[in-house]
């Protein structure tokens, strides 16, 4: 029987992204990039909170100080709800036409973050991407920034680990990669393309499950999740009630609830009038458990 998917919060995010499970407070936390909000949702009691951000907000992770590490448009910050954002690092101060995108706390306690050419105008309207100028960086708790990839990504997305390999994606190329990590330099090496050309949407965010597989959101009309082995074999396809799923995470006290964020960016008014669920937070019953979030620092 195919897993069921339901709308849990019709929040109408413009670009919901970077979903995580905050096990400290038993809630999902995520960002709306263009809406400039951080959201939290308790699946047990349905409580929904949100906080405005001073800039486009691109990613979020748990921090060891009890707060969060947050990627804004250009800088990595530390933040606690209802407090100021404290700047920690600016990975590409010399590349003003880029912005941050995917950001995830890695198993080493560093914040791994990708960049891309900025596709958002100052008023939130879309802007065309004309070059693949994105890279992946590793940011440690003391603010040290290390570039670990070549500057060749169109849109960096997906950061999940399988053993000593990093699985990541380039949305524009419609490819998911597996990289080795050089033990002495930390640089990504031995790139292997494990999935390319899948014809439903494009790869966006992913999360790993306890069995060593990972779940990938298929954005830009894909309307589904793929469950993939670490080698890129498609194990399952789950249809969703939103067409632009963007990120996913396992949560709940047993890590057995899979939630998905979505977007309504660039969609026509006629489509949104007919599909008001776009941008919602979705719950999917997949019958498998996830792994606990890593903590920055």
190: containing domain: 5-296
The CATH number of whichever domain residue 206 belongs to comes to 2.120.10.30
Q: Give the tens place of pLDDT for each residue, 203-261.
A: 999 999 999 999 999 999 999 999 999 999 999 999 999 999 999 999 999 999 999 99
Mean pLDDT of 97-118: 98
Q: Give the tens place of pLDDT for each residue, 136-189.
A: 999 999 999 999 999 999 999 999 999 999 999 999 999 999 999 999 999 999
Mean pLDDT of 86-106: 97
Whole-model pTM: value is 0.97
The residue assigned the tokens 């690092």 is 89
Mean pLDDT for the chain?
A: 97
Q: What is the pLDDT of residue 4?
A: 85
Give the count of domains, the chain.
1
Flag whether pLDDT at 2 surpasses 90: no
């Amino acid at each position: 029987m195919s897993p069921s998917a339901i709308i849990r919060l019709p929040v109408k995010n413009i670009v919901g992204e970077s979903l995580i499970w905050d096990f400290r407070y038993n809630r999902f936390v995520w960002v709306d990039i263009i809406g400039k909000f951080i959201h939290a949702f308790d699946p047990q009691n349905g409580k929904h909170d949100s906080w405005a951000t001073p800039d486009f907000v691109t990613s979020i992770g748990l921090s060891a100080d009890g707060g969060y590490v947050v990627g804004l448009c250009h800088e990595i910050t530390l933040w606690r709800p209802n407090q100021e954002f404290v700047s920690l690092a600016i990975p590409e101060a010399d590349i003003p036409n880029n912005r941050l995108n995917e950001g995830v706390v890695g198993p080493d306690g560093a914040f791994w973050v990708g960049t891309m050419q900025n596709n958002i105008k100052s008023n939130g309207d879309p802007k065309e991407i004309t070059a693949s100028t994105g890279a992946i960086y590793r940011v440690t708790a003391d603010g040290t920034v290390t570039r670990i990839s070549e500057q060749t990504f169109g849109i960096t997305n997906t950061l999940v680990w399988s053993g000593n390999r990093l699985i990541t994606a380039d949305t524009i190329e419609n490819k998911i990669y597996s990289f080795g990590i050089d033990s002495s330099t930390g640089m990504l090496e031995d790139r292997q393309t494990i999935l390319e050309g899948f014809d439903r949407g494009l790869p966006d965010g992913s999360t790993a499950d306890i069995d060593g597989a990972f779940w990938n959101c298929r954005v830009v009309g894909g309307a589904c999740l793929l469950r993939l082995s670490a080698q890129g074999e498609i194990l399952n396809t789950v249809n969703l009630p939103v067409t632009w799923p963007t990120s996913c995470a396992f949560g709940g006290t047993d890590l057995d609830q899979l939630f998905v964020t979505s977007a309504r960016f660039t969609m026509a008014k006629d489509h949104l009038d007919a599909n008001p669920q776009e941008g919602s937070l979705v719950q999917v019953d997949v019958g498998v458990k996830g792994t606990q979030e890593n903590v920055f620092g």
